[in-house]
C-alpha cells in the first residue's frame, strides 16, 4: 500500500524540497493606465521603460512607448483602443517591436505586425526582426549600376531607376502614381526582384484593386502586401513602412534584390503629426513635429545597394508623395525630394489630356540616370529627352501660327512620334529589347512615316514580331544588355517591316 501522506519519510522529502527552494522577494514592474483617448494611453509606473519598448496590456493588447515624461508616459496602441480602459494594468515585454521575415511572407497580405489579412494561416516564420533597424553604413554600400526594369518606356529611357536607388513618385491625387508603381511590381515577374507593397492610410477598395492587379497580371508569389489601412489604428499605420522595410531587407541581406513601394508617405507624415500632437510634442512648420525630416530620412536610408563583401544585394525604394495643386515646394514633398535620389513628377494637365503615364519630363529627374541603364538603352535614349523637351517648346509656338522652316517641322514630326511612344497604357510592360527597338527605329527615322495614332497598335504587335523576324538580335540584347551594330540594324529593319505591314493585323 502507498505511504500515508503524513508518513515520516514523506515529511522528510517535503522538508528537503522546501529547503532547496530559493525563497526571496521578487519585484515586478507594473504600469497602470490613467486615461485612453484617440489611440493613445497615458500610463504611470514602469519607471525604467525605454522609448519604443513593446508593452502588453492585461487584456492581451499591445502598444509601444512613444513620449516619456518624468512621472508618466504615452503608449501608442496597436490594437483596438476600445478594449483598453483606464485602470488596466500593463507590463514591459523587455523587447522592441518586431515583425516576422522570410519566404513564408511571399504571396501573403499581412498587417504591419505580420498578422494575415488574406484569410490564410498564420505566418510560419522562424525569424523576426525589429521594425527599426540601422541603415547600411557608407562602407557597406556599392555604386548603383544595374537597372530596375519597369517596363514603362518613359521611365526606363529617360529616368532610369537603379537597384538600390530611392526614386520619389510625386504628384496630385489621382494622377497615376500608384498605377506606375504597380506596373513596376508587375514587370518584376520576369526578374529576380522580390516586391513589397506597403499601403499606408489607403482605402480598402484601393488596396483591393492593387492586389487584384498583381494577381491578374503579375506574379503574386513573389510579392508581399503590407496593409495599414485608413481604418486601422494610427499606430499600425505609423509602423507600416518600417515593417515593410524590415521584410524587404531580409532578401537584400541574403544577397537578393527587393523593391519596396511606400504608398504613401504624405499620409504617413500626417499620421506622425497626429501622434505627435496627441502626445503633446511641440509643433513646428504646418504643425509637424521637428523630427519629421529625420523620420523619413532614417526610413529611406535603409534602401541601398550593398557591396560584394556584404552579399551584393539591393533594396530599391519607390516612395509616393501627394501634392496639393501641383505644389512641389510644400513641406513634405520638399523633404522627400531632398532625401531621395530623384523624383518622377506627375502632371494633372497631362493626365487630363490623356497622356499615360502623365510624367512631366521637364520637372522629373533621376540622379542615377544613365549609370543604371543597360548599354543598349544608353545607346538609343541619349537624345530622346532633349528632342522631346524641344518639341514641347516648339509646340507652344505653333499655336500662334504655322511653321515654314523644314528643320523645325521635322522636329515637330519627331516629337509627335516620341509623345505617342511614351503614351503607354497600364499592364502593357515592354521588354528591354522592345524599348531599344522602338527608340532605335525612331532615331533612324523608321517611324517618321507612321501616323502617331497607329503607334499603340504597332507597339502591341512588336514583341511577337521581333521574336519572329529578328530572333538573334532579340536573344543577344536580352542576354547581356548590349546593342551591337548588327543587332541594331536587324531591330530597325524589323520595326520598319512592321510599319510597312501596317502596324495592325
Length of the chain: 505
Closest by CA to 492, choosing from 410, 379, 411, 383, is 379
Please tell me the distance from the alpha carbon of residue 345 to that of residue 334, in angstroms, as a whole number: 12
367 is catalytic: yes
Counting Cα atoms < 13 Å in the Cβ hemisphere of 46 gives 30
Closest by CA to 374, choosing from 307, 439, 308, 436, is 436
Q: Provide the β-strand partners of residue 197.
A: 225, 261
In 114-175, which ranges are continuous DSSP H helix?
153-158
Task: Name 404's Cβ contacts closer than 8 Å, sequence gap at least 6.
Answer: none
Peptide bond into 427 cis (omega under 30): no
Rg (CA), the chain: 29
Is residue 463 within 8 A of residue 435, CB to CB? The reply is: no
Please tell me the distance from the alpha carbon of residue 431 to that of residue 187, in angstroms, as a whole number: 9
Q: Which three cell numbers stand for residue 353?
A: 489630356
Q: Provide the β-strand partners of residue 92.
A: 55
Would you say the C-alpha torsion 61, 102, 125, 261 has a positive or negative sign? Answer: positive
Please tell me the distance from the alpha carbon of residue 19 to that of residue 12, in angstroms, as a whole number: 11
Q: Provide the β-strand partners of residue 320.
A: 169
First to last CA, the chain: 98
Of 98, 222, 298, 367, which is the active-site residue? 367
Q: CB 191: neighbour CB atoms within 10 A? A: 17
Q: How far is CA 42 from CA 54, 85, 97, 276, 431, in A?
A: 15, 10, 19, 14, 55
Is residue 269 within 8 A of residue 300, CB to CB? The reply is: no
Is residue 207 within 8 A of residue 241, CB to CB? The reply is: no
Q: CB 464: neighbour CB atoms within 10 A? A: 10
Q: Which residues are catalytic?
A: 367
Amino acid at each position: 500500500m502507498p505511504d500515508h501522506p503524513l508518513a515520516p519519510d514523506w515529511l522528510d522529502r517535503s522538508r528537503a524540497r522546501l529547503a532547496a527552494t530559493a525563497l526571496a522577494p521578487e519585484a515586478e514592474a507594473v504600469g497602470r493606465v490613467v486615461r485612453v483617448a484617440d489611440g493613445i494611453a497615458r500610463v504611470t509606473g514602469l519607471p525604467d521603460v525605454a522609448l519604443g519598448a513593446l508593452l502588453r496590456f492585461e487584456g492581451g493588447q499591445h502598444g509601444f512607448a512613444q513620449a516619456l515624461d518624468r512621472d508618466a508616459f504615452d503608449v501608442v496602441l496597436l490594437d483596438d483602443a476600445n478594449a483598453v480602459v483606464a485602470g488596466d494594468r500593463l507590463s514591459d515585454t523587455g523587447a522592441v517591436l518586431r515583425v516576422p521575415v522570410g519566404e513564408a511572407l511571399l504571396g501573403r497580405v499581412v498587417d504591419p505586425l505580420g498578422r494575415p489579412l488574406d484569410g490564410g494561416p498564420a505566418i510560419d516564420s522562424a525569424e523576426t526582426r525589429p521594425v527599426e533597424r540601422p541603415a547600411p553604413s557608407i562602407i557597406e554600400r556599392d555604386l548603383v549600376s544595374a537597372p530596375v526594369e519597369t517596363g514603362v518606356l518613359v521611365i526606363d529611357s529617360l529616368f532610369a531607376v537603379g537597384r538600390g536607388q530611392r526614386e520619389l513618385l510625386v504628384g496630385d491625387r489621382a494622377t497615376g502614381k500608384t498605377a506606375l508603381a504597380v506596373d513596376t511590381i508587375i514587370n518584376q515577374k520576369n526578374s529576380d526582384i522580390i516586391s513589397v507593397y506597403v499601403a499606408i492610410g489607403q482605402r480598402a477598395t484601393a488596396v483591393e484593386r492593387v492586389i487584384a492587379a498583381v494577381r491578374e497580371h503579375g506574379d503574386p508569389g513573389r510579392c508581399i502586401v503590407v496593409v495599414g489601412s485608413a481604418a486601422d489604428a494610427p499606430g499600425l499605420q505609423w509602423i507600416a513602412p518600417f515593417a515593410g522595410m524590415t521584410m524587404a531587407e531580409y532578401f537584400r541581406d541574403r544577397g537578393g534584390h527587393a523593391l519596396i513601394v511606400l504608398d504613401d508617405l504624405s499620409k504617413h507624415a500626417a499620421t506622425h503629426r497626429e501622434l505627435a500632437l496627441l502626445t503633446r510634442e511641440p509643433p513646428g512648420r504646418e504643425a509637424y513635429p521637428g523630427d519629421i525630416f529625420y523620420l523619413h530620412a532614417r526610413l529611406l536610408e535603409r534602401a541601398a545597394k550593398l557591396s560584394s563583401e556584404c552579399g551584393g544585394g539591393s533594396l530599391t525604394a519607390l516612395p509616393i508623395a501627394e501634392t496639393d495643386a501641383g505644389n512641389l515646394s510644400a513641406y513634405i514633398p520638399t523633404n522627400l525630394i531632398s532625401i531621395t535620389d530623384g523624383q518622377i513628377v506627375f502632371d494633372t494637365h497631362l493626365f487630363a489630356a490623356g497622356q499615360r503615364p502623365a510624367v512631366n519630363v521637364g520637372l522629373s529627374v533621376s540622379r542615377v540616370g544613365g549609370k543604371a541603364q543597360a548599354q543598349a538603352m544608353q545607346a538609343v535614349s541619349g537624345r530622346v529627352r532633349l528632342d522631346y523637351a524641344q518639341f514641347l517648346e516648339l509646340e507652344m509656338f505653333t499655336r500662334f501660327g504655322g511653321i515654314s522652316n523644314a528643320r523645325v517641322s521635322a522636329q515637330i514630326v519627331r516629337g509627335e512620334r516620341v509623345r505617342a511612344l511614351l503614351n503607354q497604357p497600364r499592364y502593357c510592360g515592354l521588354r528591354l529589347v522592345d524599348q531599344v527597338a522602338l527608340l532605335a527605329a525612331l532615331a533612324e527615322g523608321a517611324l517618321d512615316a507612321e501616323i502617331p495614332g497607329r503607334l499603340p497598335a504597332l507597339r502591341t504587335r512588336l514583341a511577337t514580331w521581333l521574336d519572329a523576324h529578328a530572333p538573334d538580335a532579340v536573344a543577344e540584347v536580352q542576354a547581356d544588355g548590349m546593342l551591337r551594330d548588327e543587332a541594331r540594324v536587324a531591330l530597325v529593319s524589323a520595326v520598319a517591316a512592321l510599319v510597312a505591314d501596317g502596324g495592325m493585323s
